[in-house]
Amino acid sequence: MNFTIQNVLIPVTDSYTTTNIQVVNGKIAAIATNLDVIGQAIDGTNKLLLPGFFNAHTHSSEMWLRGMVSMYPLELWLAELYDFAPLDVEKVYLSALGTAAETLLSGGTSVVDHLVLIPGQELETIATAVRAYKEVGIRAFIAPLIQDESLIAGMPSGGSQPRQESYFRSTGETLAIIEEAVQQFHCPEGGVNILVAPTGIQLCTDALFTGCIELSNRYNLCRHSHLLETKAQEKLAQEKYGCTAVAHLEEIGYLSDRTSLAHCVWLTDNDINILARTKSTVVHNPLSNLRLGSGIAPVLKYLQAGVNVTFGCDGASSNDSQDLLEAIKIGSILHNITDFDYQNWITPRKAIEMAALGGATGLNIANQLGSLEVGKAADLVMYDLTNLSLLPRTDPIGLLVLGRTTNAVHSAWVKGREIVSNGQLTTLNVDELKQELFQRSQWENKGQSPNAKKIEPHYRKVMDLSN
């Protein structure tokens, strides 16, 4: 539907201006102070318009366990997650709706869902997420999480024990599922994209990576993985390859300008140069990195080296929210403690650019999305600047990024379709969703998981923790 936003504040270089914006056929058709109303007239008075942000890494179904997993580092956290996470297709559907809703209500119009697949129901899981995201209308980048090694392989052995247990599904079968999903669901024009998404070096063979590269090349798919989230993974890469994980991924040809890599906490300076050279994108998940004690990703170094960086919430069990503005705030200010020279710090305007254009760049669509430019898709978010959390009036982007907004998203559009209006989702009955989430869960305080308990002694040993 066509529309014209009138008298809305938008950022211009080092300042703001009040202007009008025409949206025609899902694209920004004009931005100027004097414009005729085309289609619906929308009042932008006392509102700020920005390009929609990207929630560039999450796992939607983790919503079912948020707030519950113990205070553990990734490796033990994952073991507990597996113990407590029996999924069904209906749950996948509801948590995708919830993830979309929270993303939209915190400034995001695109989500990269590194989707956990139900064993034996892989295509159904993907179909379900596709259905949920299409219903809500958020732009979806579904990255089915695949691996071909079992969980125990993800920990460094410390040289002391065999690491291999066979995985229940072969590499070839896994790749066949992804290819089938691409053929059924990959439709960028319709707002649904499938990515190849081997979970990371810790649980994938080179055969799986190579198969994903082939699919990516054949179908023009983006690539998405975890990379060096923890110190344990850094150790593991050395055990597995005798070099850094980044050097290995470059060697096998996985890194590219359509490759986005979640976390990137434990990289060397040389690794950083490789990311810059290959035009790979770092997805920074600051809340998750803190919650799991993974460390601080060297984001200021990435920016200085010219590496594209954007933000993700990560799954809601390691965050434990899907508030993109929170990820942007913490992902900006966290790095001030890593460099005494404040001239290198991320400004609120830079943060906004990373969240919007940086996200689009990581998915190789910066020519179509990520900024307020004529010709780009109308993935837009309008913030109500009369919200208490955005008052008194000072610098609107400063308030948005450094403050803690609640209910500040007034409207959101994806490809010109209004998904949020007056703070409410237009495509989803949130009360019904809440009832479903409520009914399928219970308040509880689970004890330690058997799996985490089982692998804890080994973890403590290889990570040099006292007993």
**For residues 222-243, b (16+ Cβ closer than 10 Å) or e, as one string?**
bbbbbbbbbbbbbbbbeebbee
Applying CB under 8 A, the span of 20-28, 31-39, 62-70, 375-383 interacting with a copy of itself comes to 62-70
- Rounded Cα–Cα distance for residues 416 and 52 (Å): 12
Q: Find the binder of a copy of itself among 33, 34, 166, 445 (CB under 8 A).
A: 445
Is residue 133 involved in binding a copy of itself (CB under 8 A)? no
Type of residue at 308: N
Measured in degrees and rounded to the nearest 5, phi and psi for residue 206 equal: -60, -30
Please identify, using beta-carbon distances, which residue of 157 and 336 lies nearer to a copy of itself. Answer: 336
Type of residue at 275: L
Applying CB under 8 A, the span of 14-22, 179-187, 193-201, 266-274 interacting with a copy of itself comes to 14-22
Please identify, using beta-carbon distances, which residue of 140 and 401 lies nearer to a copy of itself. Answer: 401
Beta bridge partners of 283: 262, 310
Is residue 30 involved in binding a copy of itself (CB under 8 A)? no
Q: Provide, rounded to whole angstroms, the least separation between the CB of residue 401 and a copy of itself.
A: 8
Q: Provide, rounded to whole angstroms, the least separation between the CB of residue 450 and a copy of itself.
A: 18
Q: Find the binder of a copy of itself among 131, 398, 426, 453 (CB under 8 A).
A: 398
Q: Find the binder of a copy of itself among 231, 235, 301, 458 (CB under 8 A).
A: 231
Structure tokens at 90: 């209906």
- Alpha helices by DSSP H, 252-372: 269-278, 286-291, 299-305, 324-333, 348-353, 359-362
Q: DSSP states of 184-243 as a string?
A: HH-BGGGTEEE-B-B--TTT--HHHHHHHHHHHHHHT--EEEEE--SHHHHHHHHHHHSS
Is residue 236 involved in binding a copy of itself (CB under 8 A)? no
Q: Find the binder of a copy of itself among 145, 261, 399, 412 (CB under 8 A).
A: 399
Applying CB under 8 A, the span of 21-29, 108-116, 199-207, 432-440 interacting with a copy of itself comes to 432-440
Are the beta carbons of 413 and 62 closer than 8 angstroms?
no
295 to 314: interface string for a copy of itself, x by CB under 8 A: xx------------------
Helix/strand/coil percent split, the chain, to 5: 40, 20, 40
Is residue 168 involved in binding a copy of itself (CB under 8 A)? no
Q: Provide, rounded to whole angstroms, the least separation between the CB of residue 63 and a copy of itself.
A: 7
Are the beta carbons of 321 and 99 closer than 8 angstroms?
no
Please identify, using beta-carbon distances, which residue of 22 and 451 lies nearer to a copy of itself. Answer: 451
351 to 390: interface string for a copy of itself, x by CB under 8 A: ----------------------------------xx-xxx
DSSP letter (8 states) at residue 69: S
Is residue 81 involved in binding a copy of itself (CB under 8 A)? no
Is residue 320 involved in binding a copy of itself (CB under 8 A)? yes
Q: Find the binder of a copy of itself among 262, 334, 382, 462 (CB under 8 A).
A: 334
DSSP letter (8 states) at residue 70: -
Q: Provide, rounded to whole angstroms, the least separation between the CB of residue 288 and a copy of itself.
A: 9
Report how far apart, in Å, the C-alpha atoms of 463 and of each of 231, 319, 467 are: 9, 23, 11
- Rounded Cα–Cα distance for residues 361 and 216 (Å): 17
Are the beta carbons of 289 and 264 closer than 8 angstroms?
no
Is residue 64 involved in binding a copy of itself (CB under 8 A)? yes
- Rounded Cα–Cα distance for residues 372 and 274 (Å): 31
Please identify, using beta-carbon distances, which residue of 34 and 439 lies nearer to a copy of itself. Answer: 439
Q: Provide, rounded to whole angstroms, the least separation between the CB of residue 279 and a copy of itself.
A: 27
Grouping H, G, I as helix, E, B as strand and the rest as coil, residue 9 is: strand
Is residue 294 involved in binding a copy of itself (CB under 8 A)? yes
Applying CB under 8 A, the span of 140-148, 156-164, 169-177, 458-466 interacting with a copy of itself comes to 458-466
Is residue 269 involved in binding a copy of itself (CB under 8 A)? no
Q: Provide, rounded to whole angstroms, the least separation between the CB of residue 328 and a copy of itself.
A: 12
Going by C-alpha positions, the residue among 2, 10, 20, 98 that lies closest to residue 418 is: 2
Q: Are strands 53-58 and 27-32 parallel, antiparallel or unpaired?
A: unpaired
Is residue 15 involved in binding a copy of itself (CB under 8 A)? yes
Structure tokens at 462: 């290889």
Is residue 102 involved in binding a copy of itself (CB under 8 A)? yes
Beta bridge partners of 417: 414
Is residue 68 involved in binding a copy of itself (CB under 8 A)? yes
